[in-house]
């Protein structure tokens, strides 16, 4: 596996692959990789000749009081996982490489999509996400890019950006990977104390209950949200940021369950903010 720290090295390798007529897949990550990331790499390897994984904690998507400094990092462990799953190249740039001195250009969606759900409490987050993903698309020029469904709002916004900017890249969403007890895998799970870790399963319990109600024919969105909220509120360590239902493509509020209704939640367990969702 190639380890590249410079944009020029990534471009050189990709140019050589494209000269050979090979397809290129991209898996953007912020590192501290787990089985959820591994599943994205596996999917990319199964669909593309060469797979680039970015391993970069992107500062522009963190607000001033968020966890940039303590966000977990373990590049050595990341490389072992990526090599085991068949990644061709890992791109591990410095902040200075990605954002040259006095960088002042951002990519931003100006409708309400970035203001919904997580955007209500993280107002600059999706501007940072769109900017870094746009830069990665320009650097790697992939044929396909792979994103986890756990960050469903991010996936919806990136699909919108790709359509609007005519990138010509196929965006592929991949299923949420869960722990044995249901908790969605996340790098932030490492912040949880043992007691909080047990409490955190309340998110997936609410998700599974909502999913069951949809499968049983419930069409009223509010009835499902009320049931999910009641479950989460039964856990003393849980504090709800939001429990919402939206159209996955537009992120507009949904009143009735239809195909592609996204039921999403963000919940604080202690000081750790976790997200989960399901798609009807």
Give the catalytic positions in this structure. 37
**Residues in CB range of 19: below 8 A, 6 or more apart:** none
Q: Are strands 170-174 and 144-148 parallel, antiparallel or unpaired?
A: parallel
To 10 degrees, the CA torsion angle through 232, 237, 238, 239? 130
The terminus-to-terminus CA distance of the chain in angstroms comes to 38
- CA–CA distances in Å: residue 15 to residues 12, 25, 92: 5, 13, 18
DSSP-assigned letter for residue 172: E
- As a whole number of Å, the CA-based R_g of the chain is 19
Q: SS3 for 67? A: coil
What are the φ and ψ backbone dihedral angles of 121, each rounded to 5 degrees?
-110, -5
State the DSSP H helix or E strand holding residue 13, giving kind and residue range, or none if neither: helix 7-19
């Amino acid at each position: 596996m190639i380890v590249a720290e410079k944009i020029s090295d990534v471009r050189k390798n990709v140019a050589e692959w494209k000269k050979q007529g090979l397809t290129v897949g991209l898996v953007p990550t912020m590192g501290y990789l787990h089985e959820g990331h591994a599943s994205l790499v596996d999917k990319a390897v199964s669909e593309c000749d060469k797979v680039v994984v970015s391993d970069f904690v992107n500062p522009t998507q963190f607000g001033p009081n968020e966890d940039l400094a303590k966000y977990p990092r373990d590049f050595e462990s990341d490389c072992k996982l990526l090599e085991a799953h068949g990644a061709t190249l890992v791109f591990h740039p410095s902040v200075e490489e990605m954002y040259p001195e006095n960088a002042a250009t951002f990519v931003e969606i100006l409708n309400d999509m970035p203001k919904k759900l997580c955007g209500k409490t993280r107002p600059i987050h999706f501007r940072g996400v769109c900017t870094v993903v746009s830069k990665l698309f320009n650097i790697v020029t992939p044929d396909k890019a792979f994103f986890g469904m756990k960050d469903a709002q991010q996936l919806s916004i990136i699909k919108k950006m790709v359509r609007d900017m005519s990138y010509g890249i196929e965006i592929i969403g991949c299923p949420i990977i869960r722990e044995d007890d249901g908790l969605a895998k996340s790098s932030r799970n490492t912040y949880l104390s043992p007691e909080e870790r047990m409490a955190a399963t309340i998110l997936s319990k609410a998700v599974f209950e909502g999913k069951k109600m949809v499968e049983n024919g419930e069409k009223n969105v509010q009835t499902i949200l009320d049931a999910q909220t009641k479950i989460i509120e039964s856990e003393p360590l849980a504090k709800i940021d939001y429990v919402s239902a939206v159209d996955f493509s537009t992120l507009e509020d949904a009143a009735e369950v239809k195909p592609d209704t996204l039921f999403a939640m963000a919940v604080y367990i202690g000081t750790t903010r976790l997200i989960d969702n399901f798609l009807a």
